[in-house]
Each structure stands twice: as C-alpha cells, then as structure tokens.
Amino acid sequence: MRIQAWMPAWLRHYQRDWLSGDVLAGLIVTVMLIPQSLAYAMLAGLPPEVGLYASILPLIAYALLGSSMTLAVGPVAVASLMTASSLAPLAAQGTPEYLAMAILLALLSGLMLIGAGLLRLGFLAWFLSHPVISGFISGSAVLIAIGQVKYLLGITFSSAGVLSTLAGLIKHLPETNVVTSGIGITALVFLFFARSHLALLLRRIGVPAKVAEMVSKLAPITAVILSTAVVASLDLAETAQVSIVGNVPAGLPVLAMSLPSWDALHALWVPAMLISLVGFVESVSVAQSLAMKRAQRIQPDRELLGIGAANIASALSGGFPVTGGFARSVVNFSAGANTPVASVISALMMGVVLIGLTSWFHYLPHTVLSATIIVAVLGLIDMQTLKDAWHYDKADATALLLTFFGVIVFGVEEGIVIGVALSLAVLVWRSSHPHMAVVGRVPGTEHFRNIERHQVETLPGLIALRIDESLYFANAQVLEEKIESLLQQQPGTRDLLLILSAVNQLDTTALVMLTELERDLAERHIRLHFAEIKGPVLDRLRNTPLGEQMKDRIYLSTHQAFLACSAG
Amino acid sequence: MRIQAWMPAWLRHYQRDWLSGDVLAGLIVTVMLIPQSLAYAMLAGLPPEVGLYASILPLIAYALLGSSMTLAVGPVAVASLMTASSLAPLAAQGTPEYLAMAILLALLSGLMLIGAGLLRLGFLAWFLSHPVISGFISGSAVLIAIGQVKYLLGITFSSAGVLSTLAGLIKHLPETNVVTSGIGITALVFLFFARSHLALLLRRIGVPAKVAEMVSKLAPITAVILSTAVVASLDLAETAQVSIVGNVPAGLPVLAMSLPSWDALHALWVPAMLISLVGFVESVSVAQSLAMKRAQRIQPDRELLGIGAANIASALSGGFPVTGGFARSVVNFSAGANTPVASVISALMMGVVLIGLTSWFHYLPHTVLSATIIVAVLGLIDMQTLKDAWHYDKADATALLLTFFGVIVFGVEEGIVIGVALSLAVLVWRSSHPHMAVVGRVPGTEHFRNIERHQVETLPGLIALRIDESLYFANAQVLEEKIESLLQQQPGTRDLLLILSAVNQLDTTALVMLTELERDLAERHIRLHFAEIKGPVLDRLRNTPLGEQMKDRIYLSTHQAFLACSAG
C-alpha cells in the first residue's frame, strides 16, 4: 500500500492494452538510440560506452519522476556539443580527468535542475523566446556539422573555434582518407535519402504511412550494421587506416561517485548551469507540444525533477549530461508510446546491448557516426521560424539571427548567454513601455474612451489617464515622465485622474512614485485622483500614507470622478 | 548664429534674474564640495588633488550636455567605494598604476554611458527596483562607514572584506591614536549635531528656515578649517603622529590621456559597467525627483550623455568616476539654483581653490575627512523604505534585505549584481503570471464578466477566456497550460474563445504557440475563436497562416462570438 502511493500514476493505473504500443515504441527508440548514443558520446569527446551508460538509468529515473508520457531522454546533440566545448579548456579528451569532469557536469546539472524544481523555478524556462531558441539550435547544428566533417573525411587536426576548423579543413583536405570518406559519404547520402524520400517511396509501393515512417527510422542502425560488416570483412582498419570505434568494454555500468575537487566545481558550475537551461528548455518544449496533441499536461516543475534525476542517474552510472531529445521523442510518440514503460523497455534493451553486444561495435567506423550526427543535426536547422519571424516581427528575426551568428562566431556557451541577454533585453523593453491612453467621455454615456481614437468630451483643467498595465518598478518612472509631459502640454491642469482599471499589481516602487507624485502635484496646486482601483490593490493601498492622504479622491468609476472634478 | 544653435536652451534664454540664485547655490555647493572631494578621493584610495580635479571639468561637461537644471555632479561616496573595491585586486594604492586605472575607469564608464545614450538605453535604468536600490545604497553606506573607523581612530592595518576589517579593528583597538581619535570623534559629534539639530536651533533663535538650513551645510568646511588650524598650530602631525593630507600639488589639472593596455581594459570593463549603472541610476533618480518639484522634465537619454561626458572630462583631467550626488543636488536645489550656471560657478571656484589654496589643506587631518565621510554616508541609510516595504509588500522587503546583506557580506560589486538579478527575477516572475479570467454574459446585456466574481450566463461547450495582458514569450506557455487545464476541467468543450481585448502586442513566440494550439485543438475537434483583437494586432495577424486559417472565427465583439458559437 505504502509503495503504491509512491508509484507514479501511470504505473498505478497501468492498463494491459497500453502495452503493445509501449513495447513497439520502446524497441524502435532503442534502434535509434544505439547509433545516437555512440555518436553523441563521440561528439562530446567521450568513449563510446559512456554514451551507452547514459542511455540506461537516466531513462528509468525520468520515467519515475518526469511528467511527460512520451519524452525520450538520453544523450542529445546540443548538450553533447556543450559538454565538449566546456571541457575543452579544462582537460584533454581521452584522459581520466576529462571523463571525470563530464560525469561531474552531469551531476552538477542534475543537482541544479532538482534544486530549481524544488524552488519551483520552472517558469524561468519561458524566458528564452522561441526565435532565440531557434537561432541557438540552428547555430549549434551548423557548429556541430562543421566539426564532424574531419571525421567524415578521415583527416586529423586539432582546432578551436569555427574559423580555425574551416582553415584546418582546407589545409588538410589533401590528406583525406579515400576509403574512410567513401564509406562516410555513402552513409551520409543513404541517411539523407532515407530521411527525405524513403518513407514517401515506401508509401508509394503500398506500405502503410505509419510503418513507412518507422522503417525510415531504421536507416541509421542499418548504416551502422552494413558499414561495420564491410569494415570488418575487408579489414579496412588495418589495410586502409579507417578509424574505428575499437574495443567497447562489455557489462553494465558500476554505480560510483567520487567527491569532486573545489577547482573542478568552480570551473564547471557555469557550464553546468547553461547546459541545464538549454537541456530543460529543449526538453520541456518537446514534452509540451507532444502532450498538447493528446490532451495531456506537463508540469514544468516536475519536469525539472525528472530531467534532474536523469542527470544524477547518468552521473552515478558513469554517463554525461542527458535531456529529452526532439527526434527520439517524436518517434516514441508516433510509434504509439502510451506511458514511460516505453522508455523502461528502451533502457532494458540498452542494458542487453551493453552486456552482450558491445563487441559488435568494434569495427564500426567513426565516419559513419559522423554521418549520423550530421544528418541528425542538419534536421535541427530551422529556416521556417526565421522566415515567419521576418514577415511578422523584424525584432524577433533580428534576435534569432544575432543568436545564430553568436553561437557560430563566439561558441555555443557564449551563444546561449547572448540569447538569454537578448530575451531579457526584449522583456525589459516591452515591460518599460506600458500602454496608456488619455480618455474622455463618449457624449451622452458613462463610457470613457481614448481621445485620439474617438469623439469624446473632456473637462477643462482635467487630464484623465487610463493605464493599461500593472504598475511596478519597470514602468513606474515611465508613467511619471508621461504625466509630466502631459502637464507641460496642458499648463492649466488642476486635476489629474489616473484610471487604474487594468492595474492588477502595484509594487513598492510604484507606491513610492505615486506618493511623491501626489506631494509634488499638491505643491503645484494640482489634485491627484484615482478611479476604478481593483479590490485587492485598494485593500493594500488604504493602509499606506498615500491611501490616507487620498481617501476622499478615490472613486469607484471614472464617471463619478468626472462628476466630482467638474463640481469641485 | 551657428554657435547659438549648439548652446543648451538654458544658456540661450538665460535671464538676468536667475543669476542671484545660481551664484548663491554655486557658492554653497562649492563649500560642500571642497571637503567632500578630498574625502571621496581618500575613500577611493587616491591622492587628494584627484578629488579636486574631478570637481571642475565634469561639472562643466554635465552643464553643457545634461538635462537637469539642478543636478550637482562630482565625486560621490558609492562610486568612490566601487572604484576602490574594483581596483584593490589590480594595483596597490599610491602607485602610478592605481591612479592610471582609476582614470581609465572614469574613461570607460564615460564611453559606456555615452554609448548607452546614443543607443537610447536609458530605459534600462528603471530595471532596478526602488527597494533594491535602497538596500544597495544602505549596504554600501554601512560598508563605507565601517571602513573609515580605522582612519578615524588613527590605526593602521590592511584588510579585505567586512569581517576582516572588523577583526582588525578589534585587534588593533589598543593602538588607537588618542589625539587623532580625539579630533576625529569631536568632528564626528559636531557634524552629527550640525546635521540633526543646528538648523532647528538656528530657527528657534529667529534665523529664517532657509538660511538656517544653508548654515548647517557649512559644518563640514568649518570642521575642516578648525581641525587644520589646530593641527597646524600645535604641530600635531609631528608631536602626536596625527595623519595629515600633506602636500597637495597646486595648479589646474593638465589635459592628458594615455592609451590603455588590453589587460587593463579586460580587467576594468565589468567594474566600469557596474559603476556606470549605479552612478546613472542614483543620478537620474535625484534629477527626476528634483525636476518634478519644479514642473521640469528629465530626458534619461540626455542624462546618459551628460553623466558620460562628465566622466570623460574627469578622465581627461586626471580625475576618477563621478556622477550626480544626492546631498549636494538637494542643497543646490534648495539654495535656489535655477540653471547649470550654478555648477559652472562651483567649477570656477574649485579651479580657484586648486590654483591658490591647496597649501591650506596640508595640515588637514585624515580623521576629519573620515568623520565627514561617515556622517555623509550614514545619512544615506534608509530605514523608511524597508519599513514601508515590509508593511506593503514582503517580497520587495526581502529583495531589499538580500541586496543589503549581499553588499555587506560579499562586497559592493557582488551586491549590485545580486540586486540586478533579484530585480530581473521579480520582473520575470511578474511577466510570467498574466491575469486571465473565464467570462460569461451578464444576463440581459452584452457585457461579459469574470464568472468567479459575477452572476453570469455561460454556454455549454464553450469556454470564453479573457487575457488581460500582451501575449509574448514570457507568458505564451503559461496561457497554453491554462487552456489545457481548463479543457481538462470541462471535457465536453467544443469551442474555445480567446478574448484579446487587452493584448497590445503578440510576438512571434505567442504566434507560434497559437498556431500549434489551433492545429492541436482542431485534431481534438475543438474550435478556437478570437474576439476583440485590437486593430494593429489584427493587421499583422491577417497575413499569417494562423490568420488565414481562422479568418471566419475572428469576431469584433465577445457578444458576436457568443452568438456564433451558440448558433454553430
């Protein structure tokens, strides 16, 4: 009974007819997850088994704590890129320190996400605007794709930054390994074809649309199997120096955690925060858009706990930062996943792979993993949002482009900082421009409308200003300026009426401003009046010195205020 | 003629009867400025003449470019503290590098302010809430006062951070110089008395209130003159080791500027930005509150240019960061300053002091400057805002206290970063909680009101949701969640009506959300409708795929939408 209460709702009320969908989805996601987990470990600069480790326990942790029924958690491209880029200045790839820091990054990120979840900070995720996220993801995708070209062609050089990578590619192009690049480019073409045309082709020859869609998702694993078979049978690693994955240790990960050093914590907390932010925003957007299609709900604060627990589970089992992936979650959803049981099945299958099948990956060529990465990330490049934003709102389009080029020119971490700064700047800008209208009376009625849009009556010596937003520190000073400018335009003003019908909140800064305004106006022989204050705002205002001072000049309706001002 | 057009308005239209007020105010501000400029240079860790240099050209630069008629620019306590704290890790006080970096700080700060002015970023200043500013200033004041105690008592030790200063004070207390502390504490008591009781006393014996107020401002210069006379005549510097100002080079500052190194720029740009932000916010608040009293206006973007030019002028003449000071501006205002001519007169008088009177400061004891600083900054501690905020809004009071203790515990730069972060967090929180109400029809009318507050009629199968704020990235997802939660509460819903009467803006993120919402609802056989869209929003919406899709489901009024939904 007690255990039941701790079980998630989907498990307590599990229905047998959900199982077939969950099993099918779990199997198809596993088939996608095998090449992706190997490829994203490579992208993060980590040994292949780390990608597999990150694809077992994190899935189960999210299943138990997350709120989405269909999110597929595991290694993803952007978080892997961010891992590599934040570890690059701290340790060399292939060293035990590098691996330890990747694990620590997952741990820190998990702790931060859980902390944010307990503090109910999920709302912070809404503060990256859609265009900024789109620009960030597209920029990261370009960065990742450029970074993979050298592996695709079998050339080796080290580089930092996109310009040095491009220069290196041009310089070392003559060193291209013909066999490696032959395999890689063949895989690339095959995967592109599979992604864009295979489903269509299958449907044309009579395969049902859904099955055709699923079969096209098998392309990456097919490329992996075929290329491994070719490399192994022709011994291309020896005879043609094709770079292969090599020995992948078999066996489940061992749960372990060593105490991190202060230096490492100090170096990694900012990257961990950025990875958490990006991972959470990406994950919760996918989860929410899938939930909406099935009339389900996502709880952002539970998502923080779920993704956070997944990262801690990853760290405990020797993995690196994980989050909900876009492509895999969509496949999981359309393959018919009903509950996180699908993810649990994926996790079990990945465990089977780790126990028994790692030797199969020995001859897997790196170039095919690069082809998988390139095809996956080029699918993330989003031109549509740019086009739409360009038509609809040039400011949003500009923010998108600045973030996009920020990522490519300055790097992925700097790019997300630019994106956050742009989003906040836009927020600050919008908040500091509240809508306000000087109103007058529609003749013969008790209605008051904007004097610039309607034929209305005004009273000499009275300015009636309607404020269409809550008053707080971000716009209090703007209101003060607006009032002073109105008073200068109408020097004979004796009464100033503020209509507060849209003011849901009035913070301390606004209260201080209004208190000073009332006093300064009184010295200039101008009376301040309030009308249509909302109940909760009035309750708090009454107990302040301003409320005391103004108690005879607060009116229920604008009409009553007009009557009082024309009488007095 | 051409020159006239470049002259500020107050100069072009200067009237002779403004002059007496300007001259009197200019003289009284000079008398305050002499001890303060010496004291704040000491607080910033700089030689005394640097304070005097920063009190000449900056005043003239602001007079020509600023928009306030009564702001008194020059060295101020908080900016001086920030200068000292940002230079402490970079160079030792008294070295040429330290001075060069202080000058560079003023230059960078000036360039940043002018850049912000040209980009019209003045609105950013409103993003520090009043309680956060109050907490920051109070915290800085406590920090400054604690830091001055050792000079007041004539003891010497080095310390970093408030705890180490307190520990040092306790440890070295037995080393107190009796003569020094005697002079200092006498000055302190005298200054406190002058500030709190002198004006009252003078009024009681018949002195007019305004004159009494002005005379009490002469206390600091009186303390300076008397203590200098005592130290000089009794030769206390030799006989009792009283620390004195020493030789102050005579003569006007030489205009000069050396090219800064990249290292220095890299180390100073963040402190320069923080000093600019704090200086501008402090200055513009004073300027605006004084302008309001005389029905004058402040233009925030011109203020950025004015304060920016003042800092560049300070840097060119060997000075350190300056801004508009609170106490001096209030004195300038109440002494009757009509135009910036008052500041020009102060600047000329300070020039006279530098040319001819610097030898007078030789025997001025440091302990009296510390007493001046302590009295000035304790006047900045603001308990009233805390009390008011505590009564009115606990969240604001908490932000104030966190900033206050942040400054004291972590330091002044960290404190302002904490304050900005708290202000932004509050902004984000408020923005992500738009007010929304499900509405129904008031029987027998065409009015629609909140169903929770009024007796209204609803249609079965219809949810009518009024959104009381602009829709954009910060609240788009919140709206989506709200809708899903309403749909789950009312499973039979066939029509969802969004009443957009308060939506002044609808950004790309909100558009994407609404587009997806419409599509997902259609799949669930729920129709989305819009009513009361504002003209400008509708104009842009029409040309989007969503606008196309919905064109038969957009209604002028909620009433028409109700009729359509009940018919169809």
Please give the Cα distance from B536 to A527 (Å, whole number): 35
Contact: A435, B488; criterion CB under 8 Å: no
Chain A residues with CB-CB distance to B543 below 8 A: 391-392
Nearest to B129 by CA among A432, A149, A326: A432
Using CA coordinates, name the residue in chain B closest to A425.
B124
Nearby residues of A167 by Cβ (< 8 Å), 6 or more positions away? A159
DSSP state of A321: -
Please give the Cα distance from A62 to A322 (Å, whole number): 11
Contact: B289, A430; criterion CB under 8 Å: no
DSSP string, B52-65: HHTTTHHHHHHHHH
Who among A288, A507, A543 is closest to B477 (CB)?
Answer: A288
Using CA coordinates, name the residue in chain B closest to A128.
B473
Select the residue from A126, A297, A420 to test the B interface by mutation, using most B Cβ atoms within 10 A. A126
Contact: A512, B435; criterion CB under 8 Å: no
Contact: B475, A126; criterion CB under 8 Å: yes
pLDDT at B7: 80
Higher per-residue confidence, B381 vs A195 = B381
> Hey, what amino acid is at A299?
Q
Contact: B511, A289; criterion CB under 8 Å: no
pLDDT in tens, B191-220: 999 888 888 888 888 888 878 887 888 888
Question: How would residue B568 be classed by pLDDT, with cut points 50, 70 and 90?
Answer: low
Question: How would residue A568 be classed by pLDDT, with cut points 50, 70 and 90?
Answer: low
Question: How would residue B105 be classed by pLDDT, with cut points 50, 70 and 90?
Answer: very high
pLDDT of A430 > 80? The answer is no
DSSP string, B409-436: HH-HHHHHHHHHHHHHHHHHHHHT---E
Q: Which CATH superfamily is domain A436-567 in?
A: STAS domain (3.30.750.24)
pLDDT at B265: 87
pLDDT in tens, B478-499: 898 899 889 989 988 999 999 9
Nearby residues of A37 by Cβ (< 8 Å), 6 or more positions away? A51, A52, A54, A55, A74, A75, A350
Select the residue from B473, B487, B520, B541 to test the A interface by mutation, using most A Cβ atoms within 10 A. B473
Please give the Cα distance from B399 to B395 (Å, whole number): 6
Of A109-118, A505-514, B443-452, B548-557, the range with the lowest mean pLDDT is: B443-452
pLDDT at A419: 86
Nearest to A29 by CA among A47, A56, A48: A56
Who among B124, B428, B516 is closest to A289 (CB)?
Answer: B516
Q: Are B125 and B453 in contact (CB under 8 A)?
A: no
pLDDT at A1: 53
Please give the Cα distance from B59 to B66 (Å, whole number): 10
Q: How many Å lie between the alpha carbon of A412 and the closest alpha carbon of chain B?
A: 21
Using CA coordinates, name the residue in chain A closest to B520.
A293
Chain B residues with CB-CB distance to A435 below 8 A: 504
Cα A40 to chain centroid, rounded? 18
Can you tell me whether residue A556 is helix, strand or coil?
coil
Chain A residues with CB-CB distance to B126 below 8 A: 432, 473-478
Who among B393, B475, B507 is closest to A508 (CB)?
Answer: B393
Q: Distance between the two ends of chain B, CA-based, in angstroms? A: 73
Token pair in block for residue B308: 């920016």
Using CA coordinates, name the residue in chain A closest to B281.
A477
Count of residues making up chain B = 568
pLDDT at A177: 93
pLDDT at B1: 53
User: Would you say the C-alpha torsion A236, A239, A242, A248 has a positive or negative sign?
Assistant: positive
Chain B residues with CB-CB distance to A524 below 8 A: 295
Who among B424, B474, B544 is closest to A392 (CB)?
Answer: B544
Contact: A428, B295; criterion CB under 8 Å: no
pLDDT, averaged across chain A: 89
Question: What ipTM score was computed for the predicted complex, to two decimals?
Answer: 0.77
pLDDT of B474 > 90? The answer is no
Question: How would residue B33 be classed by pLDDT, with cut points 50, 70 and 90?
Answer: very high
**Tokens 């970023």, residue?**
B121
Who among B392, B426, B476 is closest to A540 (CB)?
Answer: B392
Q: Distance between the two ends of chain A, CA-based, in angstroms? A: 73
pLDDT in tens, B173-195: 999 999 999 999 999 999 999 88
Please give the Cα distance from A512 to A477 (Å, whole number): 10
Using CA coordinates, name the residue in chain A closest to B535.
A453
Using CA coordinates, name the residue in chain B closest to A537.
B392
Chain A residues with CB-CB distance to B453 below 8 A: none
Question: How would residue B316 be classed by pLDDT, with cut points 50, 70 and 90?
Answer: very high
Select the residue from A124, A292, A298, A394 to test the B interface by mutation, using most B Cβ atoms within 10 A. A292
Who among B127, B396, B516 is closest to A508 (CB)?
Answer: B396
Using CA coordinates, name the residue in chain A closest to B468.
A502
pLDDT at B403: 94
Residue extents of the structural domains in chain B:
18-381, 436-567
Q: What share of chain B is helix, strand, coil (3-state, %, to 5)?
A: 70, 5, 25
Chain A residues with CB-CB distance to B127 below 8 A: 428, 432, 473-474
Token pair in block for residue A307: 């993704």
Contact: A288, B130; criterion CB under 8 Å: no
pLDDT in tens, A516-558: 899 989 988 999 999 989 888 898 899 899 999 999 999 988 8
pLDDT of A2 > 80? The answer is no
Using CA coordinates, name the residue in chain B closest to A427.
B474
Who among A123, A131, A297 is closest to B485 (CB)?
Answer: A297
Please give the Cα distance from B393 to A457 (Å, whole number): 38
pLDDT in tens, A218-243: 888 999 999 999 999 999 988 989 99
Select the residue from A128, A130, A511, A520 to test the B interface by mutation, using most B Cβ atoms within 10 A. A130
pLDDT at A449: 85
Who among B129, B423, B478 is closest to A126 (CB)?
Answer: B478
Q: What is the mean pLDDT of residues B15-33?
A: 91
Cα A470 to chain centroid, rounded? 28
Using CA coordinates, name the residue in chain B closest to A396.
B508
pLDDT in tens, B524-567: 899 999 998 988 889 889 989 999 999 999 998 888 998 888 87
Nearest to A337 by CA among A37, A75, A13, A29: A29
Q: How many Å lie between the alpha carbon of A543 and the closest alpha carbon of chain B?
A: 8
Cα B292 to chain centroid, rounded? 17
Chain A residues with CB-CB distance to B287 below 8 A: none
Please give the Cα distance from A144 to A154 (Å, whole number): 16
Phi, psi of B208 (to 5 degrees): -60, 145
Contact: A484, B511; criterion CB under 8 Å: no
Nearest to A431 by CA among A483, A469, A385: A469
Q: Are B65 and B306 in contact (CB under 8 A)?
A: yes
Using CA coordinates, name the residue in chain B closest to A487.
B295
User: Please, what's the b/e burial string for A8-43 (b: 16 or more CB within 10 A of its CB; e: otherwise)?
Assistant: bebeeeeeeebeebbbbbbebbbbbbbbbbbbbbbb
Of A72-86, B21-35, B241-255, the range with the lowest mean pLDDT is: B241-255
pLDDT in tens, A180-208: 999 999 999 999 998 888 888 888 888 88
Please give the Cα distance from A328 to A343 (Å, whole number): 11
pLDDT of B138 > 70? The answer is yes
Q: Are A412 and B408 in contact (CB under 8 A)?
A: no
pLDDT at B2: 66
pLDDT at A288: 83
Q: What is the mean pLDDT of residues A288-313?
A: 89
Nearby residues of B190 by Cβ (< 8 Å), 6 or more positions away? B219, B223
pLDDT, averaged across chain B: 90
Nearest to A67 by CA among A242, A304, A233: A304
Count of A-B CB contacts under 8 Å: 175
Contact: A288, B427; criterion CB under 8 Å: no
Contact: A126, B292; criterion CB under 8 Å: no
Question: How would residue A162 be classed by pLDDT, with cut points 50, 70 and 90?
Answer: confident
Side-chain half-sphere CA neighbours of A41 within 13 A: 25
DSSP state of B240: S
Q: Are strands B436-441 and B448-450 parallel, antiparallel or unpaired?
A: antiparallel
pTM over 0.95: no
Partners of B530 in the beta sheet?
B498, B554
Please give the Cα distance from A17 to A471 (Å, whole number): 54
Select the residue from B69, B130, B385, B505 to test the A interface by mutation, using most A Cβ atoms within 10 A. B130
pLDDT at B322: 97
DSSP state of B506: B
Q: Are strands B73-74 and A554-555 parallel, antiparallel or unpaired?
A: unpaired
Side-chain half-sphere CA neighbours of B132 within 13 A: 26
Who among A129, A468, A512 is closest to B130 (CB)?
Answer: A512
Q: Are B289 and A516 in contact (CB under 8 A)?
A: yes
Please give the Cα distance from A404 to A383 (Å, whole number): 11
Contact: B511, A392; criterion CB under 8 Å: yes
